[in-house]
Structure 1
Amino acid sequence: MLASLSSSLRLGGAVAALFAAGFALSGCAGMSETIAPAFADPAKYELYDCKQLEGERKALATRTADLQRLMDKAETGTGGAVVSELAYRNDYVAVRGSAQLADDAWRRNKCRETPPDAVPSTAAPQRPNIKPAPKR
């Protein structure tokens, strides 16, 4: 009877420890948003103009989406959550921090998105219309 009670207490302690760990880790998701800028250089975007910031913000958004897809894919496999954390989380947090700093610089500079029709086309350049020299 004493052995049964002891094993029940150990099991109960293990369950309580798992709940405590889960509770502690659940705060990490929200904390990564506040810690993210700590993983990026705060002065990186100080001298960027709006055109540079626009390109950088798009590149960072693409990279963030790529890392999120990789993390989601990794989590589908066996031990995927661990693989996802070890392989991608640091990069993800660093990119999110850079994106946050780029967004801050964007707002500080009062930048506006370039309208899609204002972007120059990538069509082949046209040949200039040169008139032949008159014959003498």
Structure 2
Amino acid sequence: MAASLSHRLRTQGALLLLLGAGFALSGCAGMSETVAPAFADPGKFQLYDCKQLEAERKTLATRTAELQRLMDKAQTGAGGAVVSELAYRNDYVSVRGQAQFAEEAWRRNKCRETPPEATPPATPAPTAGPASRSGRAAR
């Protein structure tokens, strides 16, 4: 009976520790916007031209959205806040910092979005209808 009680107390203690860590780490989530630039190289984008910056901004936006989806998905499971923080938060903060510096370089260089390439409207191919095949012309 004493061993069972001891085991139960250790299990509950571990669970409380895990929950406490989750709450402590989730408090850091609000700081990610102000701390993000500390995890990125501020000079990385200084020599990029607008075309390179445009591609990098799109890549960083895609990666940020992907990490956000992964964190949201992780938080739905048991201990999800802890899993989310431990598995994805550092990458998320780093990517957000890079995105901030890329955005600053974009504005500094006065870049503009490349308009999507206009594709010419498709012209319908002439079709050989039954009248043209039989040699009869429209009257």
Length-normalised TM-score, structure 2: 0.65
> What is the identity percentage for the equivalent residue pairs of Structure 1 and Structure 2?
78
Residues 62 and 49 from structure 1, CA distance in 2 versus in 1: closer, same or farther, beyond 3 angstroms? same
Q: Distance in 1 between matches of 2:31 and 2:48?
A: 28
Q: Distance in 1 between matches of 2:55 and 2:99?
A: 11
Q: Distance in 2 between matches of 1:69 and 1:24?
A: 18
Consecutive unaligned residues in structure 1, runs of 5 or more: 1-17, 121-136
Q: Displacement, 1:39?
A: 0.2
Residues 24 and 58 from structure 1, CA distance in 2 versus in 1: closer, same or farther, beyond 3 angstroms? closer
Q: Which residue in the other structure is 1:80 paired with?
A: 80
Note if contact 2:26-2:81 (Cα within 8 Å) is conserved in structure 1. Answer: no
Q: Which residue in the other structure is 2:16 paired with?
A: none
The equivalences for 1:6-85 within 5 A come to 26=27, 28-85=28-85
Q: Distance in 2 between matches of 1:25 and 1:76?
A: 14
Amino acid in the other structure paired with 1:88: Y
Q: Displacement, 1:30?
A: 3.2
Q: Distance in 1 between matches of 2:34 and 2:24?
A: 18
Q: Displacement, 1:73?
A: 0.4
Consecutive unaligned residues in structure 2, runs of 5 or more: 1-19, 120-139
Per-residue Cα deviation, 1:83-132 (whole angstroms, up to 9, x for no partner) = 000000000000000000000000000000000126x9xxxxxxxxxxxx
Q: Which residue in the other structure is 2:108 paired with?
A: 108
Note if contact 2:26-2:85 (Cα within 8 Å) is conserved in structure 1. Answer: no
Aligned residues: 100
Deviates more, 1:29-38 or 1:95-104: 29-38
Specify the structure having the higher radius of gyration (Cα): 2
Cα RMSD for the two superposed structures: 2.4
Amino acid in the other structure paired with 1:78: A
Length-normalised TM-score, structure 1: 0.67
Q: Distance in 2 between matches of 1:112 and 1:30?
A: 31
Residues 75 and 56 from structure 1, CA distance in 2 versus in 1: closer, same or farther, beyond 3 angstroms? same
Q: Which residue in the other structure is 1:131 paired with?
A: none
